[in-house]
Amino acid sequence: MHEEILTLAETLSGASEDETQTLALFCTAAEALWRRRLRGGVTPEECREAFLCAAALEAAAAMAQSRGGAVHFTAGDVSVTETDGGQTAAALRREAERLMEPYAAGDGFAVLGVRG
């Protein structure tokens, strides 16, 4: 499963060759995260497509976050690229959550009530 997740994450993140090793680590962590989040009795194989996509999205989000708001610049033939890693990462994680909603246990956050 790891190789499939990595392949998807490479596409989603646009990782360069220099970033592949880091992305592979993010994929390992993302796969472990989603395995822990599965509801009791649900296996990754039962929700294979959603699991693969969610883990790849999570890894791509981590890669985007690690890049931060970095600005890439080239002086010869001028090329400037600005990225907003935080917004991209949040959007990717929302999509992963949406895909895994039927299979994952809650993340432990709940609002029980507010007295006003």
Instruction: Provide the pLDDT for residue 79.
Output: 59
pLDDT digits (tens), the chain, 116 positions: 999 999 999 999 888 899 999 999 999 999 999 999 999 999 999 999 999 999 999 999 999 888 875 545 555 666 555 556 667 888 899 999 999 999 998 766 655 666 66
Return the percent helix, strand and coil in the chain, to nearest 5. 60, 10, 30
- Kindly report, residue by residue over 65-90, the tens digit of the pLDDT: 888 755 455 556 665 555 566 678 88
Distance of CA 19 to the CA centre of its chain: 15
Average pLDDT of the chain, as a whole number: 85
Instruction: Provide the pLDDT for residue 66.
Output: 87
Instruction: Provide the pLDDT for residue 40.
Output: 92
- How big is the chain, counted in residues? 116
